[in-house]
Amino acid sequence: MTYAAPIHEMRFVLDAIADLPAIAGLPGYEEATPDLVSAILEEAGKLAGEVIAPLNHPGDREGSVFENGVVRTPDGFQEAYRQFVEGGWNALPFDTDFGGQGLPWCLATAVQEMWQAANLSFGLCPLLTAGAVELLQAHGNDRQKTDYLAKMISGEWTGTMNLTEPQAGSDVGALKTKAVPNGDHYLITGQKIFITWGEHDCADNIVHMVLARLPDAPEGTRGISLFLVPKFVVNEDGTLGPHNDLRCVSLEHKLGINASPTAVMSYGDSGGAVGYLVGAENQGMACMFTMMNNARLAVGLQGVAIAERAYQQARAYAFERVQSKAIDGGKESVKIIRHPDVRRMLATMKARTEAARALAYLAAAALDRAKREPDDAERAAAQARLDLLIPLTKAWCTDMGCEVASLGVQVHGGMGFIEETGAAQHFRDARILPIYEGTNGIQALDLLGRKLLRDKGAAMTQLILELRAGLPEDEGLRAPLAAAIATLDETTAWLLDKGAQDIKRGAAAATPYQSLTASVLGAWLLARSAVEAAKGDDKAFAAAKLKTARFYADNLLGEVAGLSEAVTRGAESTLAFEDNDF
């Protein structure tokens, strides 16, 4: 089955949750008129559904191939990427000074969901390029911006993120890649692994953002610098010069995203790859966090996208697969959509996906406000909200993507376990999402340490106040939501006290706390969606929104109480194990 972008749903969430009409009124976003937004969503949906999505299953079977030092993407990828670039799709949210279209990030987020849902392997290429562009816009010098930004914003050149090394993993501070000053540049030597789209045949140049250590730099993350290392060195006149001293050593053989070339990259085998310092020396992690935060939000969106794709396929299968008689009687076998447990699974998929989409678009709206609000205090408040939402979006939406993709396999029954149906691919592709761009456990530690303990709960307290102020009148939603918000408030207070006293205890409780917070926020966003939908003329759509919100409140929100117990009581039993007990 192919993919059809849920444009009506996306537009609703953009308007009702992200408040795109208000964002379009911010300085620099005036071009985002309702007519332009509709046209962009429609045209993106066509490219995603008609060009990119049909490559998903064949690309998974064929995979990207590494032969004789050359990486070839699957059949059709080069042409699809060419259409993507010619359509200007990569440029949507970027500054007009370098060829961007200057449109809101929340609109670009909806469009990006289409690429990821259509073909997660394909969508990873522009995802990383967008993060690299954000990094250069924030930290690059004038020469770097002049030489690289226009081509990267157009998508003619792509970008990568080079953090991980074989001996270091998520411990970035243990990296060993070296950078030695050499005139107006540096010579980079070392090896990086897990480099998404690190080498490929879809673009003329690849711009690697590489973390490395200068001679005599401090140990750990305090001694890391960031370097721009192009595949082809750029000449003074902007043309491409010689091939840099870097190469792809191999491609990883993975569980999923097989069409995405995940490269092992070697730098400096012949003396040193030419690299250019981005930002200040030993400030590489601070610079890289610009790209990482952009990518974390985008990866959270990937969770939404793969859930949508899995839900669409499971729903279609449930309406066509005939099996067993209806449980309430009848002589004929019925389509499995008639079976209550199948309906429960589909309702779970639908509710989880819609809640996660609302969370991702809400975070993108906070990004827009953090960039464009004219008032300093409002910009700072939006940034604080964004900082809080990024780990929640990355972790919860990707966990949810795995859950929904797994349910998609279950709806298909035995056929879901068969590769030809495509349901298994969604599950395999989804499994990387809780791992890369910082494992979800790292997101939980970020939420605890940098977002909760650092400001003594100020940002979270403000969020809880807004949740309480926005409770719906519908009693079927109001009562369970009020109870869940109270649980979140009490659990937050406990963690602020105990987590500050004993960081190991706090760390052991961080993941269930993260899940608890996101679950409450997801339920609240569905309730808010129901309220906003009731204001419109589409009564069937409004009724479905209310049913979805009530289903979540009745069937899924109960997890909050158990998660609270895991936070407040679970750490002690977790930490009670001795090493030999495992």
CATH number of 176's domain: 2.40.110.10
pLDDT, average across residues 401-406 = 98
Query: 143 and 170 share a domain?
Result: no
What's residue 107's pLDDT? Answer: 98
Q: Is residue 341 part of a domain?
A: no
Question: What's phi and psi for 318, nearest 5 deg?
Answer: -65, -30
Known catalytic residues? 437
Question: Which structural domain range is residue 47 located in?
Answer: 7-154
Token couple for 262: 């995940």
Split into its structural domains, the chain has a count of 3
Q: Do residue 149 and residue 163 come from a single domain? A: no
Residues 18 and 140 in one domain: yes
311, part of any domain: no
Asked if the structure places residue 479 within a domain, the reply is yes
- Over residues 289-339, the pLDDT tens digits come to 999 999 999 999 999 999 999 999 999 999 999 999 999 988 899 999 999
Same domain membership, residue 497 and residue 567 = yes
What pLDDT does residue 7 have? 98
What whole-number distance in Å separates Cα of residue 540 and Cα of residue 542? 5
**Two structure tokens written together for 47:** 């490219």
- Looking at the fold, whether 118 and 218 belong to one and the same domain comes out as no
What pLDDT was estimated at residue 29?
Answer: 97
Q: Are residues 105 and 165 in the same domain?
A: no
Is residue 349 in some structural domain?
no
In a domain, 465, yes or no: yes
Confirm whether 61 is domain-assigned.
yes
Select from 139, 154, 169 the last residue of a domain.
154
- Where would I find the H helices in 421-538? 423-430, 440-446, 458-469, 475-501, 503-533
HSE-up of residue 26 (Cα within 13 Å, Cβ side): 24
Question: Are 148 and 168 in the same domain?
Answer: no
**Domain assignment present for 184:** yes
Per-residue pLDDT tens digits for 11-59: 999 999 999 999 999 999 999 999 999 999 999 999 999 999 999 999 9
Tokens of 217: 């730099």
Q: Do residues 193 and 135 both lie within one domain?
A: no
Examine the pLDDT at 173 and tell me if it is beyond 90.
no
Alpha carbon 480 to its chain centroid, in Å, reads 29
Q: Do 145 and 179 belong to one domain?
A: no
Residue 51: CATH number of its domain? 1.10.540.10
Reduce the DSSP state of residue 195 to 3 states and report it: strand
- Closest by Cα among 425, 521, 475, 381 to 117: 425
User: Looking at the structure, do residues 71 and 90 belong to the same domain, yes or no?
Assistant: yes
- Mean of per-residue pLDDT scores for the chain: 97
Last residue of a domain, one of 129, 154, 179: 154
The pTM of the full predicted model, rounded to 2 decimals, is: 0.97
Residue ending a domain, choose from 282, 314, 343: 282
Question: Which residue type occupies 299?
Answer: V
> What's residue 427's pLDDT?
98
* Same-domain check for residues 469 and 540: yes
In a domain, 266, yes or no: yes
What mean pLDDT is predicted for residues 531-554? 98
Question: Which residues have CB under 8 Å from 146's CB, separation 6+?
Answer: none
**C-alpha torsion 123→127→130→136, nearest 10:** -140
The answer to whether residues 111 and 242 belong to one domain is: no
Q: Helix (H, G, I), strand (E, B), or coil: what is residue 209?
A: strand
